[in-house]
Amino acid sequence: MLKDIIKKEILDHLLSAKFVFMFIICFVLILLSFYMGVAGYLADKKIYDDDIAWDRLAWAPPNNYNLLLTGSLKVYRAPQTLGAIVKGVEDAAGRVSHTVLSEEVSLGESKYQSNPLTSVFGAFDLMFIVKMALSLFAILLIYDTICGEKEKGTLKLSLSNSVPRDRLLLGKFIGGFISLCIPLLLPMMIGLIYLSLHPMIVLTGEDWQRLGFIFLMFLLYLTVFFCLGMLVSSLTARSATSLIILLFVWSVWGIVVPKASVIIAGMLRPIPVANEIYAQKTASSKQVTQDFAPRDQELQAQHNIKLIPMGGGSYRIEGDFQAFQAYQAALSKLNEERDRVVSDNYEKINRDFQLRKDAQAALAKNISRISPASALTFGATSLARTGVDDYNRFWKAALDYKQVSRDWVRTNPDLRDEKGSYKEIDSAVVAGMPQPALNYENLSGAIVRILPDFIAMALMIILLTGGAYFAFIRCDVR
């Protein structure tokens, strides 16, 4: 009996005009997302390879120490292969860290900087198709599965036979879900074949495991809206009412809640704006300059010279020229020490700001998890290594690399001559330069971190399925 109910449900969906329309749209959109995703990844990979090649060429000896001061110590973030499916923040986040030893670490060269129009429309990837289009199709497929039969009178006729309500609901659920998976799985399998056979794409064993978990999250996400449709269809008496309610919930869950969570978290845990951070750094720099001024006076007295201001930033020197040269050498070291203190203070301000920003982001993430769209976004981007946490990990690696590079410059005797002045950098020095440690999160760590997102969607499915069951058992089919 259950088999016959499932078969009837599948045939009813497959032979309907709306299913044919949905299948065609899904087929085109999913395959287009694979094609555009692969093309975007290959373009990003070419840019990354060109940057690495130019960087090696720039460091070809002989070179001068000035390269270290002008930002030639760079950290490049390689584009992620799974970014072809789940773009995440790949386009928005900076892909290159310009590590200037005398300045702050900055991340730049994102696609949004080179083409601001990209940020207006956002990324077109498979996750976007699933999150927006397929969830809407799930609603359109199932919104009248119960109330539609009430209106036609066929539900009353079916229950007049010896068909238990729970078995009828189970058959409708299984048949409807199989019908929903067909327009998703078929083009997705074709897309995966294209991805795996592409000569420029290399997928490791771990990549395939990550893809498996990503697709599992896609199915969980669509199941949430499918169960929601079953619940609302069981509670309402008319198909039009069911569709209006579902579209309202879909818009709130998928669009309003994720955006509102950021606003709410900003009000509950505000962070300083850019002008405040700049003011803190300016005040810190002025204070350090004032603290080092007496030591400059001590150096002048020690070398028996005087610098008399002449206006316009120029000075008149009183004292022996050789003594002034010795003073200049000592002052250079003093300025290096001052710059180091200023830089350390800047990094402390940045780290404090980052901690407050992370706390706000964590709050926004927890609030938004009441939306399955947010849970899907956090989970899929973490699995694809294209999420906010991966961007923060790259930023931290750039900060650590600056500290390591700065210590290397200060302590490496091969960079200075007998007088302490910087000399040309030869190939041996270049070969011994420290390399950035870009540690990507392994699969087990990603699964542990996204476990709340799996649990959130699983709980939604359980609650909605239970609600649909009790609503259908108690509904009046007259």
For the segment 62-82, the average pLDDT, to the nearest whole number, is: 70
Residue 70 has what pLDDT? 54
Residue 114 has what pLDDT? 61
pLDDT confidence bin for 67, thresholds 50/70/90: low
Q: What is the pTM of this model?
A: 0.81
Residue 417 has what pLDDT? 66
Residue 376 has what pLDDT? 92
Domain regions of the chain by residue span: 1-260+372-478
Residue 463 has pLDDT above 80, yes or no: yes
Residue 71 has pLDDT above 60, yes or no: no
Q: What is the DSSP string of 410-430?
A: HH-GGGB-TTS-B--B-HHHH
Q: What is the mean pLDDT of the chain?
A: 82
For the segment 188-203, the average pLDDT, to the nearest whole number, is: 90
**C-alpha–C-alpha distance, residues 53 and 47, integer Å:** 10
Per residue in 114-171, pLDDT (tens digit) is: 665 565 556 788 898 998 889 999 998 888 888 888 887 777 777 667 777 888 888 8
- 70-74, 395-399, 404-408 — which is least confidently predicted? 70-74
Percent of the chain with pLDDT over 90: 17
Tell which wins on pLDDT, 458 or 60: 458
pLDDT confidence bin for 44, thresholds 50/70/90: confident
**C-alpha–C-alpha distance, residues 283 and 51, integer Å:** 37
Tell which wins on pLDDT, 53 or 371: 371
Residue 104 has what pLDDT? 64
pLDDT confidence bin for 109, thresholds 50/70/90: low
**C-alpha–C-alpha distance, residues 236 and 241, integer Å:** 7
For the segment 55-71, the average pLDDT, to the nearest whole number, is: 62
Which two structure tokens, joined as six digits, stand for 356?
Answer: 């407050």
Residue 246 has what pLDDT? 93
Residue 395 has pLDDT above 60, yes or no: yes
Residue 464 has what pLDDT? 93
For the segment 195-207, the average pLDDT, to the nearest whole number, is: 89
Tell which wins on pLDDT, 66 or 230: 230
Residue 274 has pLDDT above 80, yes or no: no
pLDDT confidence bin for 313, thresholds 50/70/90: low
Residue 153 has what pLDDT? 77
Other residues' Cβ atoms within 10 Å of the Cβ of residue 129: 22
Residue 97 has pLDDT above 90, yes or no: no
Other residues' Cβ atoms within 10 Å of the Cβ of residue 143: 25
Give a three-class secondary structure readout of 32-71: HHHHHHHHHHHHHHHHHHHHHHHHHHHCCCCECCHHHHCC
Buried/exposed 311-340: b ≥16 CB within 10 Å, e otherwise? eeeeeeeeeeeeebeebeebbeebeeebbe
Instruction: Give just the sign of the alpha carbon dihedral 17, 23, 26, 27.
Output: negative
Residue 350 has what pLDDT? 79
Per residue in 220-259, pLDDT (tens digit) is: 999 999 999 999 988 888 889 999 999 999 999 888 888 8
For the segment 20-34, the average pLDDT, to the nearest whole number, is: 91
Per residue in 399-427, pLDDT (tens digit) is: 788 777 777 777 777 766 666 666 666 67
